[in-house]
Amino acid sequence: MSNLDARINEHFAGFVVRKDLVKAVKGNAIVPTYVLEYLLGQYCATDDEASIATGIETVKEILRKHYVHRSEAGLVQSTIKEKGRYKVIDQISVSLNEKTDSYEATFDNLGIKKVAVDSGTIKAHPKLLVTGVWCIADVQYEFSDDPRISPWILETIKPIQIAKVDYEGYREARGNFTTDDWIDLLMQSIGFNPEAFGRRAKLLQLMRLIPFVERNYNIIELGPKGTGKSHIYSEFSPHGQLISGGEVTVPKLFVNNSNGRIGLVGYWDVVAFDEFAGREKTANKALVDIMKNYMANKTFSRGVSPMGAEASFAFVGNTDHNVPFMLKNSDLFEALPPQFHDSAFIDRLHAYLPGWEIDVIRGEMFTKGYGFIVDYLAEILRHLRQEDYSNRLDLHFRISEKISTRDRDAIYKTMSGLLKLLFPNGGETAADVEELLRIAMESRKRVKDQLVRIDSTYPAVDFHYLGTDGVKRRVTTVEEEEYPQFYYLKSSQAPEHEDQPDAVDAASLIEGKAAGADKTSQPAKASSAKDLEEGHHVFTEDRKGVSYDRLFGPYIAGASQIIVTDPYVRFFYQIRNMMEFVEMVIRRKSPEDQVNIHLVTGPDDGNVAKQRELLDSIRDACVGSGVEFTWAFDESGNAHARDIATDTGWKIVLDRGLDIFQAPIKKDGFSLGDRLQEHRIIKGFYVTYVRNNKD
């Protein structure tokens, strides 16, 4: 057990479970994760291995005896008849039979209908009238000679959700974790191994939880297949409902005029629309209009008095093309059905989560650590919906007055949601707030910038904020930095950046527009060295398109001596980075030139012998290439600098050294990121170019 897992069990005893146990008990039971974790929480919410083993067997036995497989429905029905009463785990929905003035339940897997339900049960659990709810139920069988009377009777029913939650205890326990540890705890709670994700990737994953913690929040996520877009909404919480985007109707979603019964928005905290994208799909215009009104005003009406609701909307779907294609030929909403590819609808979205930044889910990404029982966390998040944390932003930063009220409201709602998730007890620092603010503003900016493309009546907006020091800090999206040549429809739309050069400098550096960058990977001409500029460039985490050649190539051109100082060239992937730097130098130099590369690094105390072997293998590989590679451990043991110095007078300072790429997770198979650096996801880092020799 890791140190984090031990502290999780210490401070949340009884409310956490080892996440890999779900697979151990699921078998062929087709039930949501929260159902399985509810049962695991009853018997396996401990770190005692013996108790866990016993609990797993108990849960398996419960599922074996009481979960209804559709293929065995007839056998279970027979068991109920013979015993007169039997407990089942099934998805149950209820409808009112107006002819008999009675409520009747339908058991999805068991395959029985017209099961008598008393009014008290409906008053206690009104969601049963709207859609299927997973429950543990006692079903009776009493045959009657009257064919109008169903023999099936629902005796007791218990929706699968935790009985009691100590909200104040949750807040208090949060104080025992650092921000990084708390983020990792939340990641493990939704089933992921935090070590498989960078910081930004973790925050993007957790953004999927905002609709559960924030009322009337509208988020869209479009991206490639297989990234787990709908998982949170179908498996995570008993308060969320995932429906197919093509199957929803006005009566089902809002209100049925024939009987006045409210739809899904009246009973669920989150309504998620799966497979929402698809340009060939069509949608009812009345549905689109009522959705737009609800998303803007939190109310809806169908010829009767306006009605209000608090359900958040989440729209998830697959994109047909990659980001540069969409930016060059259309917009980032191109995959939406025509009726929803509408500026009024899009403008009501509070955030656009960039699904293309989410990696395809692989087996090694799942955690074996401890996390909250999802039903427990779902109840906590539901409680926090009542609160508003958005004003905490104003203690540290001020959003530009040029940003519209709708944009501002969207940013504040995203901020409130993120603060509830990460800092339910308060205590966030200005640096914490700024990190979340940039994500919140970027998520809304992604919406607004595409609106400018779709509807010319929308003006371009300068998204920036000011700190207590009065300094203006501009916000850009990752794709804006990565593809500036496609992002702006007209050069006039590109914002001026004299007051904050870093973001655009980073983008233009990669595009070969700044600092004499050479996109062709060919040796720089001698005259181009004079055109190189000093500068500081910041690169956002999770973007691609970065390579050593584009970062360093022009600055090492013509050098015969290069010294790389990086104390952390230790692990295999870090030493591979060093080899790729050497390869870049070999490709760039002229065949007749000789270049010496010397690495100064620190020893890997856990495996120095292997480190020496790998570094020596680089030296041996360079024989006959015109590059001589040497290396040495820093004898002082105090080296913390990470830089590259050349005998041509350039010093390149990097806060991460050569370790700018996220560590690979995939162990086998083929990956473009393993072959081409431009396809590898980066960590957040900065690079500074300093000319030591002004001559």
pLDDT of amino acid 303: 63
Q: Is the pLDDT higher at 456 or at 672? A: 456
| pLDDT at site 521 | 32
Name residue 436's amino acid: L
Cβ atoms of 578 and 657 within 8 Å: the answer is no
Residues 6+ apart with CB under 8 A from 123: none
Q: Let me know: does 463 contact 403? Beta carbons within 8 Å.
A: yes
- pLDDT for residue 218: 98
Report the alpha-carbon distance of residue 556 to residue 579 in Å, rounded. 16
Q: What is the DSSP string of 456-502?
A: TTSPP---EEEETT--EEE---HHHHH-HHHH-SSGGGSPP-TT--H
Topology classification of domain 507-691 = Endonuclease; Chain A (3.30.870)
Question: Is 445:475 a contact under the CB 8 Å cutoff?
Answer: yes
pLDDT of residue 519: 33
State the Cα–Cα distance between residues 427 and 179, nearest whole angstrom: 10
pLDDT of 689 > 90? The answer is yes
Most confident range (mean pLDDT) of 296-310, 361-375, 554-568 is 554-568
State how far the Cα of 399 lies from the Cα of 504, in Å rounded to an integer.
Answer: 20
Per-residue burial over 189-214, b if 16 or more Cβ lie within 10 Å, else e, is bbbbbbebbbebbbbbbbbbbbbbbb
- For the stretch 557-613, pLDDT in tens is 999 999 999 999 998 989 999 999 999 999 999 988 999 999 999 998 888 999 999
Write out pLDDT tens, residues 157-171.
Answer: 888 877 678 899 999
For residue 477, the model assigns a pLDDT of 94
What is the rounded CA–CA span in Å between residue 203 and residue 435? 10
What pLDDT is stored for residue 491 in this prediction?
46
pLDDT(29) > 80: no
**Would you say residue 104 has pLDDT above 50?**
yes
**DSSP assigned state of 661:** B
Query: What does the mean pLDDT of the chain come to?
Result: 87
**pLDDT for position 90:** 92
Lowest-confidence region among 361-375, 412-426, 451-465, 494-508: 494-508
3-state class of 534 per DSSP?
coil
Q: Give the tens place of pLDDT for each residue, 488-520.
A: 875 445 555 444 434 334 555 555 443 333 333
Say which DSSP state 430 is in: H
Lowest mean pLDDT among 180-184, 383-387, 530-534: 530-534
**How far is Cα 634 from Cα 350, in angstroms, rounded to an integer?**
51
Average pLDDT over residues 408-432: 96
pLDDT given for residue 504 in this prediction: 38
Mean pLDDT of 671-681: 83
Average pLDDT over residues 634-641: 70
Q: Which pLDDT score is estimated for 32?
A: 82
Percentage with pLDDT > 90 across the chain:
53
The two beta strands, 270-274 and 240-244, are parallel
pLDDT digit string, tens, across residues 215-247: 999 999 999 998 888 888 988 888 899 998 667
Name the CATH superfamily for 166-376: P-loop containing nucleotide triphosphate hydrolases (3.40.50.300)
pLDDT in tens, 304-346: 678 889 999 999 999 989 999 999 999 999 999 999 999 999 9
Provide the 10 A C-beta neighbour count for residue 265.
Answer: 26
With contact defined as beta carbons under 8 Å apart, do 137 and 87 qualify? yes
Model-level pTM greater than 0.85?
no
Cβ-in-10-Å burial (0-12, 13-18, 19+) of 12 comes to buried
More confident of the two residues 184 and 481: 184
pLDDT confidence tier of residue 139, bands split at 50, 70 and 90: very high
- Residue 470 banded pLDDT, cuts 50, 70, 90: confident
Distance CA 192, CA 208 (A): 13
Tell whether the model's pLDDT for residue 394 goes beyond 50. Answer: yes
CA separation for the pair 142, 115 (Å, rounded): 11
Which of 1-10, 63-72, 300-309, 504-513 shows the lowest per-residue confidence on average (mean pLDDT)? Answer: 504-513
Q: How big is the CA angle at 132 (ends 128 and 135), to the nearest 5 degrees?
A: 80
Give the C-alpha distances (Å, rounded to integers) separating 163 from 41, 380, 408, 672.
Answer: 11, 12, 38, 48
Q: Where are the domains of the chain?
A: 70-159, 166-376, 388-482, 507-691
Query: For residue 238, what pLDDT is reported?
Result: 84
**What is the arrangement of strands in the sheet containing 240-244, beginning at the earlier edge strand?**
240-244, 270-274, 312-318, 218-223, 351-354
- One of 2.40.50, 3.40.50, 1.10.10, 1.20.120 is the CATH number of 70-159, namely 2.40.50
Task: Taking residues 673-695, report their average pLDDT.
Answer: 83
Is 133 a residue whose pLDDT tops 70? yes
Chain CA centroid to CA 344, Å: 26
Question: Residues 6 or more apart from 275 whose CB is under 8 A from it?
Answer: 244, 245, 246, 316, 317, 318
Q: Which comes out higher in pLDDT, residue 259 or 76?
A: 76
Distance of CA 433 to the CA centre of its chain: 18
